[in-house]
Amino acid sequence: MKKIGIWLDKEQAHIVTLEKENETMRTIKSEIEDFHPSGGFGLGYRGSPQDALPEDKYLEREIHQMKSYFKKIVSEIQDADAIVLFGPAQTGYKFKNELEEYFKDINAKVIGIHKTDSMTKNQIKAWVKDYFGIAVRKKPV
């Protein structure tokens, strides 16, 4: 049985795959632009529709970049038997919504979605093993 845990945020996704005795981890970068409004003078008065235009364009671009990011993740998890999503912020929930709408067969394999803090790669691997009930062996001291 192939079990996959995905820790994701807007910057990257760490995909941990557990299959038989094997454990692998792959990282996918999102390529989503980071938007920081620079302020300055617009064409109209503050709060006018002209002020909102650049932000609207950015948000539309971010939606397309997010969909591309999610497609990369989906291509890595198509043969999973069970999937758990976790991570900070709302990206995991957005990914789940994308699966519900466009990838129903993969969505059916999602058995959980959890909010967690930022983690190191080793913490991510341990979290996935713990979630799926695989004992984490401690090294002798």
Using 50 as the pLDDT threshold, list the residues of the chain that sit under it.
40-44, 138-141
Query: What's the CA gap between 46 and 62, in Å, rounded?
Result: 24
Query: What's the CA gap between 32 and 10, in Å, rounded?
Result: 7
Cβ partners under 8 Å of residue 5, min gap 6 = 15, 16, 18, 83, 84, 85, 86, 124, 127, 128, 131, 132
Query: What's the CA gap between 104 and 52, in Å, rounded?
Result: 35
pLDDT at 56: 79
Domains of the chain with CATH codes:
2-131 (3.30.420.60)
Query: What does the pLDDT look like over 42-71, one tens digit per residue?
Result: 444 555 555 555 677 888 888 999 999 999
